[in-house]
Structure 1
Amino acid sequence: MLSMARSQKANNYQVVIGMFLLASGAVKREMEVLAHAGLSISYSAIQEHLTLLSDEALKRLKQLVKEKMCFIVWDNLNIAFRVESQRLNSTNHFDNGTTGTAIPLWNPFTNSDTPLGTLPLGMKPTRATTFSVLDWSSTDTLPSPTQAEELGRCCGWQLRRLAIENIPALGHLKEALGECPEVDPIAVHQTEQYPVPAMHEDESSMEGTIRVYTTILRSLGITDADLRAHGLMFNDGDLLTDSLVDKIESARRNSTGETEGMKATVRRFGLFHAKMAGCRLVVNEHWGKPNSLSPGSLWWEHNRLLKRKPMTAGWKAKKATPWKPSHELLQISLAAHVKDGFRLHCGQADLDAWAATATMDDVNAVADRVHDKLFSTAGLDAVRALRPELRDITHENVILLNRDALFYIEFVFAIKKGDIGRVVNVLRVWMVMMRSNKTMPKYADAIFETLARIDRYDPVLKRFFLHNWLVNLTGRPYSSKEVDLLQEHQNFWAKIIYNAKGVNRSWEWLSKITVCIFTLREAMRTVQKTYKIPAYGERHTVPDMTKEVQTLADALRDEKIQEHVNNRGSVDSSSVAPVRDLLEEGSKYADTRTAFKKFTPEVRRAENLGVVDAEEVPEAEEREEDAGTTEEDYDVTEEDLYLDEEEPYAHVDTLLAAAAEL
């Protein structure tokens, strides 16, 4: 106020508050009220500053790609435009657009940014055939013994972690737990992100993907000559994006232009979408029969014990299994199963009494027994070796559920830790499991093709590929996340928080606001820090699951689900179907040449000539029909940002109240 009394142009304070209001999702009415009170600049002035910010961001973006290597990620942004008073030229409609982000390439050899030309275009293998041809061997179809051993050690550590976190009496051993064994960790560093303007281009077709790609390069100010100087550029997206780029590279493989032929692109499917697929793989296979009288399935735990809102799951479900509740269900379920497993194998009747005096060696010994008996294929084989009349189907099913859910939790924690080696080890196993009939063959193909392709890359390109597959926005340990999830979060801010309301909603506005999202968020954080406004994100951590875990653990104990019971009863045999061992089923299929037949040179040449007999691959056609892997959009919710410790998100109403109090 004293500054404004000296000069009306001394409005730095008002500008920051104006940007804070815009970043917080305030509407025009609140902005004008605070502007007339002298606390903020006017709404029109805020728009002028936003235009300046947008122009400055674009200028900085173009300069960025001239100084260092970058890679890009894009994703579709679908917005419903509702018109209250419709006319011939103004009706309700649904627009499909695309947003993108440029990310500087991290150099894993020097732990710094990557100079231009480090990955020349010639480092990418030349595309000579219509379809991808891989010089693969049998070692590419299954995890190697080393990878299996590494995965086993990490899963054992996850068991110990879950036990210490969910058995209160073991709390004194938290510091003794140590870190999970490392495989190929990405060096901790802070990732920068630079959004490109949103575009009204639908990327769900080959033509749309080409337009999106050229539009992004035009926004970056990149020409063919610039691409040659820049070098290879990774592009991330979901499975649909990966497939479309592959088809474009195939159709334009004889093109001489770098942009036209996508000569600089190196495809990568998003690990977030792979995580969702892995979660659905576990839940669909172990969902069980709804309304069954027998306990032991995920349906029994989710609907009957936890009394959650019913959800659709299973391979025959008409809708895709929702990821968010499935992810939470597996976390709660696995914790309860581990707790009950330690009760069974700790050697004492009272788990808490044993835990109070247990040492880390004691925990390791019990964890090994629990893993061998209840969380491994060896444990399943042991109970299946019994005489048929003594088999306990419910107990066998829970062993498979434990093993498959443990793989998923290991994948989730490997991403958070930023250990790409652990991530790849789980992908190797999922690639086999998704080979089973009526599961997810498209993801199995994508994982197989990607891992086999990078294994034949130049070692330098392979290391760059893997160590830029995750990002870390904070530069702190345990803060890594998937590149495609980063883009989903940007879509949330663009679509929900910063999108204009009513008639002002337009793609012109979105193209201007998207490049300023993180500048606006920095203004919001600056005001919050200056006025010591609480970090609202810390209030929205994952709610305590102790009661839920205990409820499931008690039910497992009462029903003796994790114990072998001879002749469990007629209910078990009549209403409980044996769950498939997806690892076994997928291994059988992967052991046939049909599994990866389409990646062999002979079949590719035959397909190019149109002489492949359909009767040669009936199983593959049947698998495609039953795949149930249609790509669906994932709409990020506020809960996603609540789970991101590095991205605190405040309720709009709460922020407006705080702004009003100023």
Structure 2
Amino acid sequence: MDLSNTETSSPTTENLSDIVEVIDDDERSVSSGDASDIETNIVPAPDPPSTPHETIQTIPKEVEDQYIRHTRAKREQKTPLQIYKACTEVIAHMKAVGLDLPIFLDAVFWGNEHAIDDRNIQYERTVFLRSVELPRILENWHKPPRSSHSMTRPAGGTKTMNSFAVDTVVDLAKVELSNLGPRLHLSTTDDVSPDKLTSINFVELEDLAKENAPILWSILKAVLDTGQGKKWRRIAFTVISMISYTQSHHHNRLQKLLAVYMKFRGVSAKGFDTLHAMGLTMSHKWTCDAVERISSQCMSEVVAKMKQHPWLISYDNINIPFRVFSQRVDNRGEFGNGTAATVYIKRDAPKLPDGIAQLLKETRAAGLKNPLTASDINDLASKSYPRIQEQMAYLVLRFLLDSPEFDFGTYKYRKSSSLRAPQAVDQLPTGDDHITLQYLLGTTNIAEASYEDNARLIDEWLKQLGWMTEAQRREFALATLVFWCGDQLTVDRLRHLFIYRGSDDTSYDRMDYSVLLFGWFHLQMAYANSLHRQYLGTERGRGLQHAFDLLNRKGLTKVLTQGPFHHNLDEALRHVAEAHIREDWLEIAEVESLAELRSRPAEELKRLAMRVVKKRASSEALDNLDSKEPAKTDEELRQVIMWNRDVLQYLVLDAAVKSGDVGMMESMLPHLLYRFSGSGNSKYAIEVLELMQGLYREWPKDVADFARHHCWLVNTTGKPGKFCPVDMAQEHNIRDIKVTYRSQGPNIKWGYLKRLHPAIHVIRKVTEYIEKEFGTLVRGSKHTIPKAELDIEKLRGAYHETGLHSYKAGRRIKVEAERAEDYMTEGAIKLNQGKGSAKWNEGRNFERSDKERVEEDEDVEMAPRSPSPLMTLLFEMAEQGEAGAEGEASMELL
């Protein structure tokens, strides 16, 4: 049948064939293995080489455009009716020659060996496969359009197309997963390192999956992306990781991360079995083994870092309940008492010079003969007070600026430099280079209950850190200093050990290498408790008890050492302080409301803040009132002034601790000594005296600098305002052991905890990483603090109503229980009278040996030392004295 009348030749056909011929010649000149599987309209080269596996080649876009224009030109030359008539003639001719459409298409598309290399068939095949009509044709095969006279869609090739699409996608997905899988591998050498575990964030992992498995990623995006953000990406990556893990357990980066995370988020072993069967985590056995490997790696790491950088150590008691599910004579539950310790690596600290241990012995010996005197302490107090007073004035100014009534956001002079905080006295640096590294040691079942226990604990910690034999420890004690930090009870017992062992044979036995430092967090607790004791009063007065009742604050009447008592008391002290200071602003500035002060320049507000401190929060103001005739004295106003002075110093100390101003903390020392001496807290009075004696008399400059700059505060984030005392960091670690990352089950014993706890800093980092990446970090880690404005204004209203802050000559405190003692003044008087300091000097006046008497057999692991009969007697006497005195319990934060 002649078809020449049904089709007009395109004017571009000849040029297109020439272009295609040149391209195909170039491809075939290499090899048929590199040729495109979409042939072009040329005469095939003679004797072309063949290969069963052809590599898919791409055709340049300009050539594809030629194909598309060629078909478009033909379509534009015919009407739909003409195209229809031509189709009927083609089908009629096919029937005439014994063909149908399946046979025809199969022959054209590589189903007939004779048709494969035919130039005309090649050309038409390539035009078809490069046409813009092909996607529409495939869509119509898959889902034919309904006819205008029928509501039923034709069956079309839906079943075949679906089956073909599934098979194609499966093949592509397998190839993609085989490429992606090895990139999700985390080796056994890397899965113990926190840096390697968290080296890639999830955005990078998602991009990795998208790049290596684009088809699978597109499918998951189509079903997961609801247009509500990018959360679907995390789910898609998790699904792909699970699929990849089922192909090979080596494709396990996500599974290892989630296994460590789930282990310490309370998932049971049975839960692990389920998650592992789902392909979401590694097995429970692998996780337990991995945690032990991480723990071992952490111990090796801390020992290595201790050789590179200066360090210090803290420890505190810990109580852990051990459960059993079947009670027997030899299998009973218990409430275990043990001790947990932490080593802090200070990478930014300069190394102490060689020979520092010997130099410390010499300066200590000299310092014993040159104790601080009352005159020395008074001089220190006088020199430091102006700096403290400046910080007090800034707090008073902030109370004004932060009040809603003042509305600082719209204050005209809010950008004035006069409103900035005073310059720090000695500010610790911040940044990544100044992050303190924490390493927990293995928790031990040695209770911190006696002097002998503390002696065993020293041996235990040093043994865990690699000093095993007598010879190693003797060498260690002659060349190294250990800075021990802890609460008052821990440091006090270590100090008594240091004294009692002064005549032992070696530097190690005598603890010559030890520098003892109390924790500032427990000191702040003692300060707050002394304010509570001093100003509690009764419900009828205007002391703290009145404030607790007015604000309905429960559980604050009696001082406690556990639970949230300190937190609640701290908040209450701040609110009462702010209420009093706001009222004093009205009195000193002679205004009716704080809003009236908005018109005053910033410089004037700064001067007024200092005036508030001098007139309403200073010993000078108390002296002025006391100098009046008895008939003109206002005892209630005097007590308000004394409260302001004492509580502002408490707040100044707290601000210095949080901001890292160790210079201000040091400036507070003589004033803290006055307070603790006056309040009868002899334990902390001795601790402050010992610290001052060390800083100014007994420690070499390098040791004193290291103590103040690196042993009082740590910063585990490197961010400004995130400093915390060492003993608070230890309490946080104990909280992590007992609560956050607690171990559960009937087989949890001290031996397991000792192996586990060194891994906690890695577990903490992995946990924070997972929760940050999945957007769950905030939940449970913070809580919204309710605004205190209503409480403050309620207190201020009560004070204003009674005229408490206005001077009234002859006003008396009628109930003796309402009268607060002046601890600061009483402490200064005691100190100048020699009360307490003489006993302290006497207790420190002892001789220490400087000999090194070494036994011959020193290369064996050191056994715990048994105290001599004399030492045992001294221990018992000291412990009996402690039992009769008011002790201090370490608060475990929950």
Residues 337, 447 of structure 2: 8 Å contact kept: yes
Q: Which has the higher contact order (CA 8 A, sep 6+)?
A: 1
Partner in structure 1 of residue 696 of structure 2: 455
How many Å apart are 1:187 and its aligned residue? 2.4
Choose which of 298, 312, 319 in structure 1 pairs with 2:544.
298
Q: Does 2:660 correspond to 1:418? A: yes
2:892 — aligned with what?
Answer: 635
Q: Deviations over 1:65-102 (max 9, x none)?
A: 23333211111112233556544334453322111111
CA distance in structure 1 between the aligned counterparts of 2:415 and 2:361, rounded to whole angstroms: 48
> Cα deviations across residues 342-392 of structure 1 (Å, max 9, x unaligned)?
12222322321x133332113112212211221111222223333323433
Cα distance in 1, alignment partners of residues 721 and 355 from structure 2: 28
Residue 519 of structure 1 deviates from its aligned partner by: 0.7
Query: SS of the residue aligned with 1:505?
Result: coil
**Alignment-derived partner of residue 501 in structure 1:** 744
Query: Measured at CA, do residues 534 and 221 of structure 1 come closer, stay the same or move farther in structure 2, by a change above 3 Å?
Result: closer
Cα distance in 1 for partners of 2:610, 2:695 equals 34
Question: Which of the residues 625, 633, 636 maps onto 1:394?
Answer: 636
Residues 559, 133 of structure 1: alpha-carbon distance in 2 compared, 3 angstrom cutoff? farther
Amino acid across the alignment from 1:27: S
Matches within 5 A, 1:178-217: 178-188=420-430, 189-217=434-462
Letter in 2 for 1:395: L
Partner in structure 2 of residue 466 of structure 1: 708
SS of 1:194's partner is strand
CA 196–95 in structure 1, closer or farther in 2 if over 3 Å, else same: same
Q: SS in structure 1 opposite 2:289? A: helix
- 1:121 is matched with 357
Whole-angstrom CA distance in 2 between matches of 1:171 and 1:93: 57
Which moved further from structure 2: 595-604 or 45-54?
595-604
Matched position secondary structure for 1:267: strand
Q: CA 1:320–1:517 in 2, change beyond 3 Å: closer, same or farther?
A: closer
Choose 496-505 or 13-22, whichever is displaced more. Answer: 496-505
- Of residues 400-409 and 425-434 in structure 1, the stretch that sits farther from structure 2 once superposed is 425-434
CA contact (8 A) 1:283 1:298 kept: yes
1:132 offset after TM fit, Å? 6.3
2 CA distance for matches of 1:334 and 1:423?
21
Distance in 1 separating the partners of 2:844 and 2:352: 39
Which whole-Å CA distance do the structure 2 matches of 1:347 and 1:128 have between them?
55
2:762 aligned residue (504, 514, 519) = 519
- Say which one has the larger Rg: 2
* Counterparts of residues 234-633 of structure 1 (less than 5 Å): 234-289=483-538, 291=539, 293-294=540-541, 296-302=542-548, 304-313=549-558, 322-352=565-595, 354-436=596-678, 439-456=680-697, 457-468=699-710, 469-536=712-779, 539-568=782-811, 572-574=813-815, 577-600=818-841, 604=845, 629-633=886-890
Give the structure-2-normalised TM-score.
0.64
- Counterpart CA distance in 2 for 1:136 and 1:234 is 22
Partner SS state of residue 235, structure 1 = strand
User: Out of 364, 368, 372, which is 1:136 matched to?
Assistant: 372
State the alpha-carbon separation in 2 of the partners of residues 105 and 171 from structure 1. Answer: 40
The letter for the 1-side match of 2:283 is S
1:25 to 259, 262, 266: 266
Secondary structure of the 2:462 match is helix
Report if the CA contact (8 A) 2:264-2:743 is conserved.
no
Question: Equivalent residue of 1:97, what SS?
Answer: strand
Once structures 1 and 2 are overlaid, which stretch shifts more, 21-30 or 322-331? Answer: 21-30
Distance 1:228 1:84, change over 3 A: closer
SS at match of 1:591: helix
* Equivalent of 2:341 in 100, 104, 109: 100
Per-residue CA deviations over 1:153-176 (Å, capped at 9, x if unaligned) read 121112112221234424246654
Q: How much does 1:431 deviate?
A: 0.4
Task: Between 493-502 and 464-473, report the one with greater CA deviation.
Answer: 493-502
**Gap runs ≥5 in structure 1:** 107-111, 607-623, 638-662
Shift of 1:186: 2.0
TM-score by length of 1: 0.85
Q: Quick one: structure 1 residues 298 and 243, their matched pair in 2 at CA, closer, same or farther if it must change by over 3 Å?
A: same
Q: Structure 1 residues 539, 435: CA separation in 2 closer, same or farther (over 3 Å shift)?
A: closer
SS in 2 for 1:199: coil
> Which deviations, in whole Å up to 9, do the C-alpha atoms of 1:10-69 show, x marking residues without a partner?
122111111111233333343333222211122222111111111111111222223333
2:465 equivalent in structure 1: 220
- Residues 295 and 758 of structure 2 are in contact (CA less than 8 Å); yes or no, is this contact kept in structure 1? yes
1:652 corresponds in structure 2 to none
CA distance in 2, matches of 1:246, 1:313: 31
Deviations 1:561-601 (A, max 9, x none): 222234558xx424664321111111111011233112436
RMSD value over aligned CA atoms?
A: 2.9
1:51 paired with 2:280, answer no
Q: Is the 8 A contact 1:100 1:487 kept in 2?
A: yes
Consecutive unaligned residues in structure 2, runs of 5 or more: 1-241, 848-880
Residues 422/582 of structure 1: CA separation in 2 closer, same or farther (3 Å cut): same
Does structure 1 retain, via aligned residues, the 8 Å contact 2:325–2:746?
no
Amino acid at match of 1:594: K
Shift of 1:470: 0.9
Mark the CA change 1:281 to 1:27 in structure 2 (over 3 Å): closer, same or farther.
Answer: same
State the SS of the aligned residue for 2:893: coil
Give the aligned length. 604
Rounded to whole Å, the distance in 2 between the matches of 1:25 and 1:544 is: 33
For 1:453 and 1:627, how far apart are their aligned partners in 2? 28
Instruction: Tell me whether 1:71 sits opposite 2:312 in the alignment.
Output: yes
Give the direction of change, closer, same or farther, for the CA distance of 1:626–1:140 in structure 2 (3 Å limit).
Answer: farther
Aligned to 2:275: 34
Task: State how far apart, in whole Å, the 2-side matches of 1:355 and 1:539 are.
Answer: 35
The CA distance in 1 between the partners of 2:475 and 2:582, in whole Å, is: 57
Given that 1:204 and 1:240 are in contact with CA atoms closer than 8 Å, whether structure 2 keeps it comes out as: no
Q: What is the CA–CA distance in structure 2 between the aligned matches of 1:543 and 1:493, rounded to whole Å?
A: 26
CA contact (8 A) 1:284 1:321 kept: no
One-letter amino acid of the structure 2 residue matched with residue 369 of structure 1: R
Task: String of CA shifts for 1:267-326, please: whole Å, max 9, x gaps.
Answer: 10111111111111111101113x4x23x1011001x21111143347xx9999942221
User: Aligned partners of 1:544 and 1:92: how far apart in 2?
Assistant: 44
Q: Judge conservation of contact 1:104–1:192 (CA < 8 Å) in 2.
A: yes
The 2-side partners of 1:58 and 1:562 are apart by 59
Rounded to whole Å, the distance in 1 between the matches of 2:884 and 2:680 is 6
Structure 1 residues 487 and 117: CA distance shift in structure 2, 3 A: same
Q: Matches of 1:82 and 1:404 in 2, distance apart?
A: 47
Residue of 164, 167, 178 corresponding to 2:401 = 164
Deviates more, 1:581-590 or 1:220-229: 220-229
Do the aligned residues in 2 keep the contact of 1:441 with 1:627 (CA within 8 Å)?
no
